[in-house]
Each structure stands twice: as C-alpha cells, then as structure tokens.
C-alpha cells in the first residue's frame, strides 16, 4: 500500500562524522510522480522531505557549498535517511 508521509534524513560528513548544516536536498527522480520537493539541513544535519509517497526509491541531489552529490535511497514507512556526504 502506498501512503504519503514526511521522511526525516540526517546528513553527515563521511570522514569526520560531523553534521552537515545548510545543505539543500532535492528529489530529482523516483518511481512515482512527485512534486518539486526540497529541504535544507539544519545545524544538526537534519532535513525533512514532506509528503512523499512511500514505499519508494528516490534519487536525491544534495548541494552543499560548491559541491554536490546524487544518491539513490529506498524509503519505507519507518525510514530515517542517514546520508554521508
């Protein structure tokens, strides 16, 4: 069953483990249609993707400083996305 839910994520530096604040996280693709959804990580690296259809696989574009990274994530009802960048 597909439902719509807000999903929490946390960005951290993959080498230091420190939270990444101020990064923009955007959904750029997925197996279901979705509106343009973006979020900004707070000082603890936490961001929320509101009203996405789950379960599903999504492509996220993460922009931070002059860098960017694309990741594919599987999202289900209990997901908290933990992403190293």
pTM: 0.89
* 16 DSSP 8-state letter: T
Rounded CA separation 9/40 (Å)? 10
Task: Please name which of 14, 10, 38, 12 lies closest in space to residue 25, comparing C-alpha atoms.
Answer: 38
Check: CB of residue 12 under 8 Å from CB of residue 25.
Answer: no
Report the largest interatomic distance among the alpha carbons of the chain, rounded to a whole angstrom: 39
Beta-bridge mates of residue 5: 52
pLDDT at 15: 92
Phi then psi dihedrals of residue 44, to 5 deg: -95, 5
pLDDT at 11: 97
Domains annotated on the chain, with CATH = 3-84 (2.60.40.10)
**Model confidence over 30-49: pLDDT tens digits?**
866 666 789 999 999 999 99
């Amino acid at each position: 069953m597909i439902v719509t839910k807000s999903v929490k994520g946390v960005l951290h530096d993959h080498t230091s483990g420190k939270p990444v604040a101020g990064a923009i996280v955007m959904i750029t693709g997925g197996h279901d249609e979705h509106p343009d959804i973006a979020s900004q990580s707070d000082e603890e690296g936490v961001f929320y993707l509101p009203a996405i259809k789950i379960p599903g696989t999504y492509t996220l574009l993460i922009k931070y400083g002059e860098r960017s990274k694309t990741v594919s994530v599987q999202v289900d009802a209990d997901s908290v996305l933990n992403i190293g960048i």
